[in-house]
Amino acid sequence: MNKHDKNDNEESLLSVFLSTSQSIDEDINKAKEIIKQEGLDPQKLQKEGMAFITALQVKAKTQSQLSLSDLIKKLITAGIPKTLLEKRIIPSALAIDWRRESYKSESGFIAAFASSIFGLTENDIWEGRKLTFANSPAGTAMFKAPVNASISQIKAYSYYAYYLAKLVAKSYKPVKKEPLPEDIDEFKANYISKYRSFDLRSLLNYAWELGFCVLPLNDPGVFHGACWNIEGRRVIVLKQTTKYHARWIFDLLHELYHALAHLDQANSAVVETQELNPFINNDTLEEREANTFSHQVLFGDRAEDILNHCVKLTKGRMENLKSAVSNISRSENIREDILANYVAFRLSLSDQNWWGPASSFQVTEPDPFAIATEILNKNLDTEGLNQVESSLLKIATSNN
């Protein structure tokens, strides 16, 4: 800083002090006398004031000169996934006219937008600090992370999903809620009394009728779903990239169990860091229970009996298995795709690969993500969201 700049800053500091000090005349000596009477050090106060002004100047200069690409690099370094930034966060921010939001630059507006989503301060971003995500919404409820997974990226995505879940909870205006079932039998009986079979649309509608919001996301990555109790409102995040209805149905039943069994307390959470698998039990009790619930709802206690019946119908010929699955699914009122997946899994335990034939049973239309998004939008009233929040939620649930 040269001498001319220093003098200008001192004059600016003095002007600020005098203009906000109504009890004294515009006299620097009188000001210093009052400062000493208050037990303060005039030189220290001047130094701290100068440092404050300089910091504001640096921050303003940084925000105005930092390019969007530089900002993205800082956010990636902090641990936020590049794909999430480029496909969701940045487009959501760019949909808003940052000039109307009283920001001096586009990058400054995006930094403020990102800080609100990820629980940061803007200084964390401008100064390039490595973010710790110490208070991640995943919290202690985050189950065992996959080997070699990026913990920071899991936590970063959990912030993003949690922010969206809060918007959904805020926008949900339930008209009438069904009573929560006490156990698996009551869940299944209540569902079947209203819907005859387990299709994705009906199961999603039933979840909303129970008062559980279901937010679909289709981003790739190591975060695989979550449930949150947000101030008493339970929100399920279904994160799935496949179009197989059978997988969506299983995942939804899995998360419904968590919502029923593990989210009694406000602000409790269950975050899935491993891919949900209908047949392989996770090493946590909570995940094993959720898998058991899904199978019990779909098969009852008869999974092995049904499998043996399929084997019997083949008469020892593998080429008869597809027709056997079709016949048994009709007689037992079980979806063909779900039964075929179970048969393929059991055969895989004997080193027999039947996943190819099983894939021919899979239902992919209509698009499950589109179904879930349609039902989400039907149950939300987004009038209470601001333009930035609406933009983020809309882009998050777009099928791109």
Instruction: Say if residue 25's pLDDT is above 80.
Output: no
- Assess whether 107 and 248 both reside in one domain: no
Tell me, what's the pLDDT at 28?
65
| Of residues 304 and 50, more confidently modeled | 304
Rounded to an integer, what distance in angstroms lies between the CA atom of residue 131 and that of residue 135?
11
pLDDT at 123: 77
Answer yes or no: do 224 and 337 share one domain.
no
Question: Is the same domain home to 149 and 221?
Answer: yes
Per the structure, the count of domains in the chain is 4
pLDDT of residue 118: 84
Report pLDDT for 395.
93
- Same-domain pairing of 247 and 384: yes
Q: Which residues pair with 380 in a beta bridge?
A: 172
Q: So what's the pLDDT on residue 150? A: 67
- The answer to whether the CB of 372 falls within 8 A of the CB of 204 is yes
Instruction: Give which of 69, 102, 78 is closest to 159, Cα–Cα.
Output: 78
Q: Residue 210: which domain range? A: 141-296+368-396
State whether 210 and 263 are in the same domain: yes
Task: Convert the pLDDT of each residue in 281-335 to its tens digit.
Answer: 666 788 888 888 999 999 988 888 999 999 899 888 899 999 999 999 999 989 9
For 46, phi and psi rounded to 5 degrees? -65, -40
Which of 64, 90, 116 is the last residue in one of the domains? 64
Residue 250 in domain? yes
Can you give the pLDDT at residue 223? Answer: 77
Cβ atoms of 220 and 89 closer than 8 Å: no
pLDDT of residue 6: 47
Q: What is the mean pLDDT of residues 81-102?
A: 83
Q: Domain check: are 13 and 45 in the same one? A: yes
What value does the mean pLDDT take over residues 231-249? 93
Q: To the nearest 10°, the Cα dihedral for 110, 111, 116, 118?
A: 110
What pLDDT does residue 144 have?
47
Counting every residue written for the chain, the total comes to 400
Over residues 334-352, the pLDDT tens digits come to 999 999 999 998 898 889 9
Average pLDDT of the chain is: 81
Distance, in Å, from the CA atom of 174 to the CA atom of 171, rounded to the nearest integer, reads: 10
Interatomic CA distance for residues 244 and 210, integer angstroms: 24
249, 114: one domain: no
Sheet holding 213-217, edge to edge: 213-217, 233-239, 225-230, 269-271
Return the sign of the alpha-carbon dihedral for residues 337, 207, 241, 136: negative
Residue 133 lies in a domain: no
Q: Which amino acid is at 381?
A: D
Establish if 93 belongs to a structural domain.
Answer: yes
For residue 22, what pLDDT is reported?
47
Q: Are residues 22 and 76 in the same domain?
A: no
Indicate if 284 and 161 belong to the same structural domain.
yes
**Across 113-117, 339-343, 374-378, 390-394, least confident range:** 113-117
Average pLDDT for residues 358-373, to the nearest whole number? 96
Choice among 118-122, 182-186, 348-352, 391-395 with the minimum mean pLDDT: 118-122
Do residues 41 and 190 both lie within one domain?
no
Are 191 and 329 in the same domain?
no
Residue 182 lies in a domain: yes
Question: Is 132 within a domain?
Answer: no
Q: Is residue 136 part of a domain?
A: no
Q: Does residue 263 surpass a pLDDT of 90?
A: no
CA atoms within 13 A on the CB side of 115: 18
pLDDT confidence of residue 72: 86
Give the lowest-confidence range in 128-132, 162-166, 224-228, 337-341.
Answer: 128-132
